[in-house]
A = this chain, B = another copy of it.
Amino acid sequence: MSVSAPEIPAKTTSRFKWDLKTIGPLAALALLVLLGITLNENFLTYNNITNVLARSSFIGIIAIGATFVITAGGLDLSVGSMAAVIAGVMIMVMNWLIPVFGIGWGVILAGMAAGVLLGGVAGVGNGIMITRGRIEAFIVTLGTMGIFRSLVTFLADGGTLSLNFQVADVYRPVYYNGFLGVPYPILVFALVAIAGEVVMRRTAFGRHCAAIGSNEQVARYSSINVDNVRLITYILQGVLVAVAVLLYVPRLGSASSTTGVLWELEAIAAVIIGGTTLKGGYGRVWGTVAGVIILGLIGNILNLQSFISPYLNGAFQGVIIILAVLLQRPKRAS
């Protein structure tokens, strides 16, 4: 066939299209920063910015895991309770091991290892029930949300599990100190975000997540091991929850039945504000990072002013979340 069609040359579109959908979360972020600057001269100070970013890092790291889960068409409601259990167990393990290792990094590293292991196991549990048990992710993780929450209440005997003070003193710098003036939580968050973005865009796993979320059948026919990829997203989520907890414990030094309440909602909100589709098939990690920072800034800005009654904080938050997504709404489907 020699006569080829007089094709309009395939447009070499630039890789990044700077359309509304792309800049949506960034625009919302920029507007919030502007608002912050107007409200308070201290807004842009080193202290304030590092404060906001450091405390957003827990949700941030969890939300990056959620980006993968959601992109692959799943959902994990259990992350907040999982964080509480992991924190509780970490604290108990560290307290137990003091007689063995003495006060010092040995105990902390053992605790960290226990935490990451537990996160992985919790992820395996969720993932196995969803993939092998073929139960709706919403239900499985709603169930484990209750189970984890109960577990931490039970372990803490209804109260609070507190880390031994001397150990807490050794551990505290992991949250409060930093490297070259950047607090460790921000560094870890940044590293996880960069790694997450690379995995999503530049590895087969990331591509497979999107494929599964987009059309599970097509993925299966394209020789993707759908169950395994899904399972891995939940394990990744579990491990990232544990990583977040590694930074959370030195900040609070305790865990109770109220630890991590509603984190799941915040994480999912951040993911969707960032432009990932809730039904799966398309995810972007950098968007999630923007979403997390938007949520963090909303809280910060509320503290910078005194006109809004604290009773109405939630309303302000709600309005901003809707506006942030309004900025990137899709055009009417053709």
Contact = CB atoms under 8 A, between A and B. Distances in A.
A145 interface: yes
A269 to B, nearest CB: 6
Contact of A321 (B146, B151, B311, B325): B146
How many copies altogether?
Answer: 2
B138 A318 contact: no
Interface in A228-242: none
Interface residues of A, number: 49
Interface of A is mostly: helix
Contacts of A309: 154
A129 B217 CA distance: 32
Contacts of A133: 326, 329
A272 B149 CA distance: 21
A104 interface: no
A139 interface: yes
5 contacts: A135-B322, A136-B272, A144-B322, A147-B318, A150-B312
A268 B138 contact: yes
A99 interface: no
B138 A321 contact: no
A153 interface: yes
A315 B151 contact: yes
